[in-house]
């Protein structure tokens, strides 16, 4: 029954969303890439929502059903038939009912994903972005098992940029050779961001910030941005870690330039920007310790960035611990990708905890670069890993927790944070719909 009803539901919601876009004519900013989409979308929203009436994709609404929900401003009804019926009714009122332009946003900031070939092609058949933002690609992107290879994933992502009209703008990561190579031939206007010295919005410096006191645990990230007008801006991100998080900030500043938002205003908005749950958030752990909660999802390039952040941390006491679970949807690339993660982790961590069958290859990679056997612990489930780490972690430790969403590594983070009762406010997948999964 679900297999029959879902396509019908999607078709109705897309029809309504398409009609709403045609009716209200909002400007559309659309974000895609292998990693960093949600953080970039949220950073852009933080900048533009102070100047324009704006709606963004909630959480990671980037699929064929998530996009129309985001456009119409409707929630995910999960398995509730009455909830979906209400969504269809509310969507119809937005699209075809009495005009409510005052309630429809001037700007839509949308995240556009590609789980399968044709996903973005179908999306741009009814969503035409005025601004397309390209984040970062990976040589082994997530969802690659559904494509012929990484090149097909890249070409699918590029369909968003190809859909931008002649008077629109493509904003691209200047440090990503794959996207830069693809956009070179586009006739549409382009703007760049990144560490590259020629970027229109340049990341001039990133520096970790630490708490005062003997443990000196990490507390945030300071970012210096130079704009095309040669204006230098300092932005402090609280409660997150990783130099890769400077890229959403820079992308948002590039959008601000295009929309003529004052750079100082944009920088102030970004200083209050809080990346979404499960994306390199620094949480207070027992002991006290620090939990780097990166549990929303996982891919080779995202794990690499998270481990680089862990490596860069300097403190007086404690151990660097990584709890890494399976990276799903990598198909034939899975074993090699997990081994490479292990090789990187083996040179960084004091203790490595792996979770899941595929993650056993992470352990093999770590052993291969010399991490001692007694520093590697393997479990089948996140619940087992959580029980072990809750006893193992001590004062001053920094623990990176990461895995694909089906591995449910947020259970590990919940076991480690100082106040587990605060999990609904701090961690991903705390809704009732996830309890039995």
From first to last of the 437 residues of the chain, give the pLDDT tens digit: 466 788 999 999 999 999 999 999 999 999 999 989 999 999 999 999 999 999 999 876 667 889 999 999 999 888 888 999 999 999 999 999 887 656 899 999 999 998 889 999 999 999 999 999 999 997 777 677 788 888 999 999 999 999 999 999 999 999 999 999 999 999 999 999 999 999 999 999 999 999 998 889 999 999 999 998 778 999 999 999 999 999 999 999 999 999 999 999 999 999 888 888 999 999 999 999 999 999 999 999 999 999 999 999 997 789 999 999 999 999 999 999 999 999 999 999 999 999 999 999 999 999 999 999 999 999 999 999 999 999 999 999 999 999 999 999 999 999 999 999 999 999 999 988 787 77
Both tokens assigned to 133: 């933002």
Find all residues with CB under 8 Å of 82, minimum gap 6, and list them. Answer: none
Both tokens assigned to 420: 């587990």
- In terms of residues, how long is the chain? 437
Q: Is 425 exposed, middle or buried, given 0-12, 13-18 or 19+ CB atoms closer than 10 A?
A: exposed
87 touches 75 (CB < 8 A): yes
Cα 125 to the chain's mean position, in Å? 24
Residue recorded with tokens 């297999």:
3
Cα separation of 190 and 188, whole Å? 6
Cα separation of 418 and 286, whole Å? 5
Residue 287, Ramachandran bin (φ over 0: left; ψ between -120 and 50: alpha; else beta): left
pLDDT value at position 62?
67
Rg (CA), the chain: 22
Neighbours of 322 (CB within 10 A): 28
Cα separation of 31 and 129, whole Å? 9
pLDDT value at position 434?
83
Domain span(s) for CATH 3.90.190.20 in the chain: 281-434
Q: Is 381 exposed, middle or buried, given 0-12, 13-18 or 19+ CB atoms closer than 10 A?
A: middle
400 touches 378 (CB < 8 A): no
Both tokens assigned to 266: 């944009």
**How far apart, in Å, are the Cα atoms of 279 and each of 242, 269, 383, 388, 403?**
10, 19, 20, 23, 11
pLDDT tens per residue across span 290-321 = 999 999 999 999 999 999 999 999 977 899 99
> Fold for domain 281-434?
3.90.190
- For residue 108, the 8-state DSSP code is E
pLDDT value at position 101?
59
In angstroms, how far is the first alpha carbon of the chain from the final one? 21
What SS3 class is residue 432?
Answer: helix
pLDDT value at position 182?
96
Q: Which residue intervals of 73-228 are DSSP H helices? A: 81-96, 119-123, 150-162, 177-183
Find all residues with CB under 8 Å of 372, minimum gap 6, and list them. Answer: none
Both tokens assigned to 235: 């932005």
- Phi (first) and psi of residue 416, to 5 degrees: -100, -25
Domain span(s) for CATH 3.40.1190.10 in the chain: 2-270
pLDDT value at position 1?
40
Superfamily of domain 2-270: Mur-like, catalytic domain (3.40.1190.10)
pLDDT value at position 19?
96
Both tokens assigned to 211: 């708490």
Is the previous residue joined to 288 through a cis bond, with omega within 30 degrees of 0? yes
Chain-wide mean pLDDT for the chain?
93
Closest CA to 205 of 180, 235, 239, 228: 235
pTM of this prediction? 0.91
pLDDT value at position 173?
98
């Amino acid at each position: 029954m679900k297999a029959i009803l879902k396509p019908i539901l999607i078709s109705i919601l897309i029809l309504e969303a398409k009609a709403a876009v045609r009716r209200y004519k909002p400007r559309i900013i659309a974000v895609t890439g292998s990693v960093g989409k949600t953080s970039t979308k949220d950073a852009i929203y933080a900048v533009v929502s102070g100047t324009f009436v704006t709606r963004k994709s909630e959480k990671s609404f980037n699929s064929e059903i998530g996009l129309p929900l985001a456009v119409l401003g409707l929630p995910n009804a999960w398995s509730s038939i009455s909830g979906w019926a209400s969504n269809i009714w509310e969507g119809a009122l937005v699209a075809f009912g009495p005009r409510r332009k005052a309630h429809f946003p001037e700007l839509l900031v949308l995240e556009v994903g590609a789980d399968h070939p044709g996903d973005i092609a179908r999306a741009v058949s009814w969503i035409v972005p005025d601004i397309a933002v390209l984040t970062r690609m990976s040589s082994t992107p997530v969802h690659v098992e559904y494509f012929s290879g990484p090149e097909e994933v890249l070409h699918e992502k590029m369909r968003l940029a190809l859909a931008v009209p002649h008077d629109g703008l493509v904003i691209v990561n200047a440090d990503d050779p794959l996207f830069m190579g693809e956009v070179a031939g586009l006739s549409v206007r382009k703007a760049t961001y990144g560490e590259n010295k020629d970027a229109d919005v340049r990341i001039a410096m990133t520096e970790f910030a630490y708490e005062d006191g003997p443990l000196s645990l990490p507390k945030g990230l300071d970012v210096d941005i130079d704009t095309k007008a040669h204006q230098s801006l300092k932005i402090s991100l609280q409660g997150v870690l990783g130099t890769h998080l400077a890229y959403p900030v820079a992308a948002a500043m590039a959008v601000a330039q295009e929309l003529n938002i004052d750079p100082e205003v944009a920088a102030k908005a970004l200083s209050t920007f809080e990346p979404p749950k499960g994306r390199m958030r620094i949480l207070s752990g027992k002991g006290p310790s620090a939990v780097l909660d990166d549990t929303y999802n996982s891919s080779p390039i995202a794990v690499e960035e998270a481990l680089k952040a862990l490596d860069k941390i300097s403190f007086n006491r404690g151990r660097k611990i990584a709890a890494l679970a399976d990276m799903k949807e990598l198909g034939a690339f899975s074993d090699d990708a997990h081994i490479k993660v292990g090789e990187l982790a083996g040179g960084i961590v004091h203790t490595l905890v792996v979770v899941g069958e595929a993650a056993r290859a992470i352990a093999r990679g770590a052993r291969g670069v010399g991490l001692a056997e007694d520093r590697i612990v393997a479990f089948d489930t996140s619940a087992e890993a959580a029980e072990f780490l809750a006893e193992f972690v001590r004062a001053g430790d920094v623990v990176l927790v990461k895995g694909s969403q089906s591995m449910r590594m947020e259970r590990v983070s919940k076991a480690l944070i100082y106040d587990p009762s605060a999990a609904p406010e701090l961690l991903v997948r705390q809704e009732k719909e996830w309890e039995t999964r």
